[in-house]
Structure 1
Amino acid sequence: MSRIDDFEAFIAIVEHGSLTAAARRTNRSLQSISRSLATLEEAVGVELVHRTTRRSAPSEAGAAFFRRIKPAIDEINEATLKAANQRSEPSGVLRVGAPVLFGPDFLVPVIAGYMRTHPRVEVDLRLSDEFADLGAEALDLAVRIGDLPDSSLRAKRLGALRRVVFGAPSYFAERGRPSHPFELGKHSCIVRTVDERPGEWMFQIDGKPRTVKVAGAFRSNLMTPIYAAAIHGLGLGYSPLWQIKHLVDDGRVELVLTEFEPVPVPIHALWQEGRSSSAKVRAFLDMLASRLDLRNL
């Protein structure tokens, strides 16, 4: 077994908290993982991992060792994958998951360019706003908006998306424009009833995240009727900018309180570690990073 395998065993132990978990993650036997750790500790001359019956944790020397070798091993693996991918033309079916509204307008143009560049690849795009279980749904890759839960998936940050308050020119002509989030209590606001906390909008006030309670006579469980209601002057809406950018560009709604926008929401591409060696996945990740245009969103 190579020294690289010993390094990867040690990294897996530190990341997953036990030799048993590391064995599962690397598809190796517990004895093999234990042997790699012992070999590595003998080579460096110090104990790298404190073992107990339930958990393994890096020693002080082990933690410092981990911080140094982890980027190097990642770089070696990345270089190996790129070299291998250069020998293989992407082919087969690429299964991609994405949010319902985001996929058609933003992902499909990238997919079109990808399929023209790699004509041997077919793409199966599956749209859902639920957080995808890539293994259960047999997805090669998923694009997800929002903070990521802890998982074993690999992730590539693609950018971040603004959340904005908007209203129709007719509404502002009749009710005026709020100049501060705390003034929203005097305005009719359109609430999305299925939010985790309906009627609470997030802002950045004095450099800190703050929630402001809002209410209004019209509410809905879906965003499309909320957009329609805002266009017809029924109140102010709160939404990701990318979902209403076309309405802003057409002048049908206008943004307010932009100086109080909350921290933008991250957007990532997610894939399983074992699938990162696939030429079709790697090629699509590269194209996503270069062609997905999230500017002004």
Structure 2
Amino acid sequence: MTSLRLSSPFAFGDLQGCHAPFQRLLAALPLEPDTPLWFAGDLVNRGPDSLAALREVAGFGTRAQAVLGNHDLHLLAVSAGIRKMKESDTLTDILAAPDAEPLLVWLRHRPFAHFDNGMLMVHAGVLPQWDLKLALELADELQRGLRSPDWKETLRDLYGNEPRRWSPDLKKKDRMRVAFNAFTRIRFCTPDGTMEFAANGGPDSAPPGHIPWFDAPERRTSDVTVVFGHWAALGLMLRDNLIALDSGCVWGNRLSAVKLAGNPSERTVVQVECRECVDSGRGE
């Protein structure tokens, strides 16, 4: 019997360093000591207290299931000298902290996908050609790369926009980059799964010929419930087989948590306001 059946998890949208709203949300939830806590990535960056947010989630130990988001990976890349700090980043407090090394090691060992009792959590999305088995295999390949001694070289090779489309014939580096971008960056794709990375507005802002990834016809993960964050302009969205969690806390909107009951009618939504947590940069 899994922990989900004993105590349904609560899944949280992107914290992005908004620690005070996260504390208020935790206090508002009907949590038991054994309630699993799922985090859809982007624990850090853009908000005012990334260090406290990261420390708190890491402090939950095995009770917390957090997948890697693009901002989490940006932190790892900056720490490794792979990417430069951006003007809008709020990562300096983490990098200067006395416990920076164990926090970064903890973060680097998070997965790209988490699956339990019919629910698949990723940060951004999955490509329509992937079934659950393939998605988990690709996530495992990525996380093994980040947990290896040469993780910096692996991470450096993952950045880039090409190729934009999955093929089973891709060589290893291209295969891993496609998976990396799908799990952490995708919003729109063509019906055949070609990804687009420039548009970050709501579903009605799709570039010509593109659709939200989850609306791709014959998406092969439609038989499981996909839980994801990343897309703040989409906002909180609940379908029977889809839960979008990023309701734009770092934009000053709301931070959301959803009880992941197996029966969609029993899912509970709890939100708090995030007026003190505003970031003017609305990109990735």
**Scaled by the length of structure 2, what TM-score is found?**
0.24
Report the structure number with the largest CA radius of gyration: 1
Give 1 or 2: higher helix fraction. 1
TM-score by length of 1: 0.23
